[in-house]
Structure 1
């Protein structure tokens, strides 16, 4: 009985860790002398690798996705959590004007069938955040 309790505790810890890993978000850090940043990583199974991007009204946000695998897609959500973009093709790009100040979230994921098979793929995202001229 004691051994079963230990196994159950380990299973709960592992399950909790896996759930946390899927919800983990990284903040995009732009260069001190610029307004662009590049991140890279690997996405596996049903994981969604998320990046937080602070943006303001008056800017435009470009997110360029690059992956050798057609399995990789990404979405962009506004500060309220509404999806404003979902890529449908490999090496897609999002260009948008933030309608509200706040943190936008970009999530990289594998397409459903590939995620279900536990596939993994490397990706790179390029972020560009520019102030739009008045007028």
Structure 2
């Protein structure tokens, strides 16, 4: 109960920003985990070149990011850029640009929301199986 016996106001949830919407559009938990790892490493060690460049031709990266709808778009929205070099495509954090903990928090929020959705769906599927 709120102040003076009044119930606190229930405000509608805020509309997500473009970056939040791009990350929340991904429905693969493995992909969101990979994006979190890449963004976190870049934010924590911003001058380390190995964290600022991701080769999209890498089989694991291709499977987790390249084949999931919206994953590359989310990375671009977070501040990465697509670049062609040496006959391959890369996701690169442009020179002079740094990712911060704000981007990490956006990905963590999307990961937490997706984890909750997966658990709720699993719980729902279990109930349907028991009743059916």
Greater Rg, structure 1 or structure 2? 2
TM-score, scaled to structure 2: 0.28
Q: Which has the higher contact order (CA 8 A, sep 6+)?
A: 1
Structure having the larger proportion of residues in helix:
2
Higher strand share: 1
Task: Name the TM-score, length of structure 1 as normaliser.
Answer: 0.27
